[in-house]
Structure 1
């Protein structure tokens, strides 16, 4: 019996524009999932949709479907993990939306705070204070809250209701009711005051204004949206920081050495890496030896010796020798790019708690509007006046509109995974971060994870009859001439114990760096060898039993031991 073959699926990513809350994301997600064979997940925090669709589907079909809901969609301008510049890190200057939010927030703070104080403190309610409140609150409700009103109108045209609908309807109703009370009720009369009373007393509302509510809600929501936007941008900087670890230019051997942008490097190209330079991309060493500092990938602070035929990763640093490397992977295929993609996937995915929050947000708005309508009807049916019933309905809308449910969860996950990446912790997905609440033990297996990653000289064991200070002086001088991290650590430690700066160590002559073994030189007429046992063997220096035992004990304790003779 043969089963039906599972159709092949394509992974497509879309950047969604115009979303202002989790309800917007739920609307777009529902619309995409109505297409045959399409499974979409829209993340409000990252403003991206990850779509699984039948192989061969035109992305334009998906984009058109998103646009039917009143939002915009585009294909990513740059593939995830590309090594090109990953955005401006200048902060707000590169984001017009963030700049606009900041301007509206600052304006609303200056205008709203006096309105709130006058409404809450009876002593500040001078004659005609209510008209000053109207003057100050109007720009806040009309101009500062414009993004909410605009989004609500766009959603209304497409038959959708989102958090912006609640904000716009709630603040608009409070403002319009205040206008009614001021111009047609008795709230505009001289000497009108707002008492501060915790008791509940039914009234027709014609003597009350809600300008402080409308202005205050707008101010706090703008603040929340501004800080949310900033958090999202700062979390995105984790990806930019990862990508900035890669090289920007590379010296390629094409009939000679040519300096090219990293984007022009191709698989199979051979390129040169000099001491201290980053390796441009993943590849295999063709010629040369060097100690490779791979701490940015592995956390290991001790460089690893590498030679012809060994693989190296892009973004790591050649510390001690010139290499010729053949590129095996470039662009988004490199190990560094895959790390960046892992962070992006973690930020784009949804944890179970986020899926729950999205489900609640998807029905929250229509439920609140329905409750407001039921409230209005209930007050009318119980014999109250139209004004009293409208006051109760408006109160429901105003209380409900500052809802952080839809944005708190995705933003927390986004910032958590982004901050982890900045600290060198790669989180494979939001469900992994969510599961950490059950963790009761953490096992760390990498040097550099819980250490500074900077090597220091810890022990100096001298053979009988050897002057310790003289040994440190000679060895420090030779190691000072090497760029190897272990050599630099020995030079700093020797100078520190001698009480002098490294610049005052003796000069070295006939310095030679033997790749993978160590260094030799002549200091003040004395030949000095520093390195592995193999270097001493090359110079026919006999093994010292006591030193071999000391070496074994040090290595057992996790330290790196070198010989000097």
Structure 2
């Protein structure tokens, strides 16, 4: 497990390769939602594939297949056969989301060529409509339009031919059909010597030029949407100052090994995850965890690679490198979320699968309708071309994934890691949030605040020494508290034997001939040990919000005493609960603690609905009960015992200071373990969902209005091409507005996040 000192996050540990594993591919050649939908079907037909998901916005495919990376060649072959390109994405060969500078320049040169040759054709159309001078002869129109059609437009023919061989269609097919029909009709009339009035060279050229411009703008906008990933990748420096036997040398971070010691000077970024072995400093972890204030780090504390050393010189021993480093895991989680599909996208994919054939059918109907009913061949051809050109499923295909990309990027900057798109889309629907107490509402670092021996039992130090010795085999936070208290008093601990942990109840062990039973009231009741003599003291302790750990001797059936253990409530918990209530969300506490302790903590943070003394394996049942009552439930927890409940909830939310198991199970992780991030997460979910709905609305409206207008002959091919190109750009631009979202709740304030 990789953790960060006292307050830092933990991120999921890498999973071992299994018989069925996930392969990620970088895809090239996709132009619209029809391409991604068809690729999913193609990949799904490869032997051994369980699931496949292709994301148009990120241009990646995620495939679960038996054999994992060993079967990547089979997947790539299937993709290539379908007319696209693919290569595996690994830690050594990441597919960075951004621009290929050389490809950008080539695209701009082609677009510039097309624009320069198209402008005279547009002027000829304007001159024809207004009577202005400067008309261009039909032959010169042919000379200008031909390079646009077959040089600049070659990409559309290649794409259309590839999909045609596969028996499918995409945006390239529509552009190639529409522009070729306009160019072909004009060429026929030039060959026959018809007057220039019946030429549509400008329509074909403008369609190709505008679509090229639209795709270039779209690519740049998608690259901007992926800026969160690139920002994270830039955090880690490439060079580290390695210290070997007192000599400092600059080496590439990739050459470091576990156990190396690196020197980090004031103002430098930490190159690796590690433990501070010398020095004291303040570290700015804001770009990694979202924590706005610098945190103190001293010997024994852990630090994250990518965070900034503020003012002290420290030496750090390397504990994690490469894909195991915290920053690499964060990047993987963000990439996974951006590449995953929200549930609403499934509906869009179904529409895209039939969209291109439906458009071709509508174009044929428009042509036949105008020709047979109106008797005008030219009008019929123009109507058919306009239908082909104006229809583009790109806007539909980009509406959801671009909003998810931007939303998850904003979340990462705030310290909220979203594991999958479904969690981000579902979070704002939550009506109930179930909190685990320890480590979630409280700081998760319990401390012994009192030792109460029973009559005839050893004194405080003797009782504490017995308890701390018996807890030697336990990793529970309460066991740590007892051992730490014994260390503070410098007590000598005897040996223990026959240790046994009883989930949710406590432990048993033999120490100095005693059969010790340490834990909950229930455990001592089952051992037949009477508790009456200390009931009043226990009630007082629990009324103050501390937990009571009972201790008895099962051999003699005698009560030895009890320990008061308190876990301070997090400073922002009360404000976070108040904000959730203001958002209409009901908080519930699920805890294994006694009723009185649970109520005392709940009163401090403002929770009225308490489910106390819930065993770990019953937390999932409690979540299921809440869901059966018609509530949409988010579960917030940090421990291994919370994992089943996190999985059972509609949305699982893990605290970043908790265990890897909890974060692997949860859909959302709060990196700095602060409850104040909960209203932010729900507010951002609401904003992202609203943006998805807005994008889909305008994408559907565009096609609903544009297609009938084109079929009715009310749009010429040039206007249709402009509208089609701008629809995709407008959807991506709309998603980018999400980057302006800001939470309005201060970590210690009480207002909910909003735009």
Normalising by structure 2, report the TM-score: 0.50
Aligned to 1:262: 253
Aligned to 2:357: 366
Contact 2:270 2:304 in 1 (8 A): yes
**Residues 557, 402 of structure 1: alpha-carbon distance in 2 compared, 3 angstrom cutoff:** closer
CA drift of 1:313 comes to: 1.6
Aligned to 1:341: 332
2:125 counterpart of 1:107 = no
The Cα offsets for residues 496-538 of structure 1, whole Å up to 9 and x where unpaired, read as xxxxxxxxxxxxxxxxxxxxxxxxxxxxxxxxxxxxxxxxxxx
2:159 counterpart of 1:146 = no
CA drift of 1:168 comes to: 0.4
Match of 1:252 among 201, 225, 242: 242
Contact 2:33 2:394 in 1 (8 A): no
CA drift of 1:8 comes to: 4.5
Aligned to 2:53: 41
CA drift of 1:102 comes to: 1.6
The separation in 2 between residues aligned to 1:405 and 1:177, in whole angstroms, is 31
CA drift of 1:103 comes to: 1.9
2:269 counterpart of 1:278 = yes
Aligned to 1:493: none
The separation in 1 between residues aligned to 2:331 and 2:281, in whole angstroms, is 26
CA drift of 1:445 comes to: 5.7
The Cα offsets for residues 181-203 of structure 1, whole Å up to 9 and x where unpaired, read as 23326334xxx4xxxxxxxxxxx
Match of 1:19 among 15, 30, 35: 30
Contact 1:32 1:65 in 2 (8 A): yes
2:126 counterpart of 1:123 = no
CA drift of 1:281 comes to: 1.5
Q: How does 1:394-405 map to 2 (within 5 A)?
A: 394-400=385-391, 404-405=395-396
CA drift of 1:10 comes to: 0.2
Contact 1:117 1:124 in 2 (8 A): no
Aligned to 1:459: none
Higher fraction of strand = 2
Q: How does 1:394-543 map to 2 (within 5 A)?
A: 394-400=385-391, 404-418=395-409, 427-431=418-422, 434=425
**Residues 557, 355 of structure 1: alpha-carbon distance in 2 compared, 3 angstrom cutoff:** closer
CA drift of 1:226 comes to: 0.3
2:211 counterpart of 1:216 = no
Contact 2:83 2:162 in 1 (8 A): yes
CA drift of 1:436 comes to: 7.7
**Residues 275, 392 of structure 1: alpha-carbon distance in 2 compared, 3 angstrom cutoff:** closer
SS in 2 for 1:58: helix
2:114 counterpart of 1:98 = no
Aligned to 1:511: none
Q: How does 1:183-198 map to 2 (within 5 A)?
A: 183-184=191-192, 186-188=194-196, 192=197
Match of 2:185 among 162, 174, 177: 177
CA drift of 1:33 comes to: 0.6
Q: Which moved more, 1:162-171 or 1:278-287?
A: 278-287
Contact 1:15 1:49 in 2 (8 A): yes
Number of corresponding residues: 417
Aligned to 1:230: 220
The separation in 2 between residues aligned to 1:436 and 1:12, in whole angstroms, is 28
2:79 counterpart of 1:71 = no
2:324 counterpart of 1:328 = no
CA drift of 1:49 comes to: 0.6
SS in 2 for 1:129: coil
CA drift of 1:434 comes to: 4.4
**Residues 315, 402 of structure 1: alpha-carbon distance in 2 compared, 3 angstrom cutoff:** closer
CA drift of 1:366 comes to: 1.4
Q: Which moved more, 1:393-402 or 1:143-152?
A: 393-402
CA drift of 1:425 comes to: 6.5
The separation in 2 between residues aligned to 1:384 and 1:367, in whole angstroms, is 24
Contact 1:13 1:75 in 2 (8 A): yes
Aligned to 2:347: 356
CA drift of 1:32 comes to: 0.5
**Residues 417, 223 of structure 1: alpha-carbon distance in 2 compared, 3 angstrom cutoff:** farther
Contact 2:290 2:414 in 1 (8 A): no
CA drift of 1:418 comes to: 4.2
CA drift of 1:106 comes to: 2.5
Contact 2:279 2:313 in 1 (8 A): yes
Q: Which stretches in structure 2 are left out of the alignment for 5+ residues?
A: 1-17, 432-570, 574-746, 750-755
Question: Which structure is higher in RCO with an 8 Å CA cutoff and minimum separation 6?
Answer: 2
The separation in 2 between residues aligned to 1:445 and 1:34, in whole angstroms, is 51
The Cα offsets for residues 268-323 of structure 1, whole Å up to 9 and x where unpaired, read as 22322233333221122223322333233334344333322222222223334332
CA drift of 1:390 comes to: 4.8
Contact 1:111 1:137 in 2 (8 A): yes
Contact 1:174 1:398 in 2 (8 A): no
The Cα offsets for residues 96-146 of structure 1, whole Å up to 9 and x where unpaired, read as 332222222223333334423432452246586352443433332222222
Q: Which stretches in structure 1 are left out of the alignment for 5+ residues?
A: 1-6, 193-207, 447-555, 559-565
The separation in 1 between residues aligned to 2:135 and 2:293, in whole angstroms, is 75
Q: CA RMSD in A?
A: 3.6
Aligned to 2:446: none
Contact 1:231 1:411 in 2 (8 A): no
The separation in 2 between residues aligned to 1:422 and 1:227, in whole angstroms, is 25
SS in 1 for 2:226: helix
Q: Which moved more, 1:26-35 or 1:392-401?
A: 392-401
The Cα offsets for residues 190-221 of structure 1, whole Å up to 9 and x where unpaired, read as xx4xxxxxxxxxxxxxxx22223212221221
The separation in 2 between residues aligned to 1:212 and 1:419, in whole angstroms, is 43
Aligned to 1:476: none
**Residues 259, 366 of structure 1: alpha-carbon distance in 2 compared, 3 angstrom cutoff:** same
Normalising by structure 1, report the TM-score: 0.65
SS in 1 for 2:57: coil
The separation in 2 between residues aligned to 1:24 and 1:226, in whole angstroms, is 18
SS in 2 for 1:159: coil
CA drift of 1:384 comes to: 4.7
CA drift of 1:74 comes to: 0.8
Q: Which moved more, 1:248-257 or 1:304-313?
A: 248-257
Aligned to 1:136: 144
**Residues 365, 65 of structure 1: alpha-carbon distance in 2 compared, 3 angstrom cutoff:** same
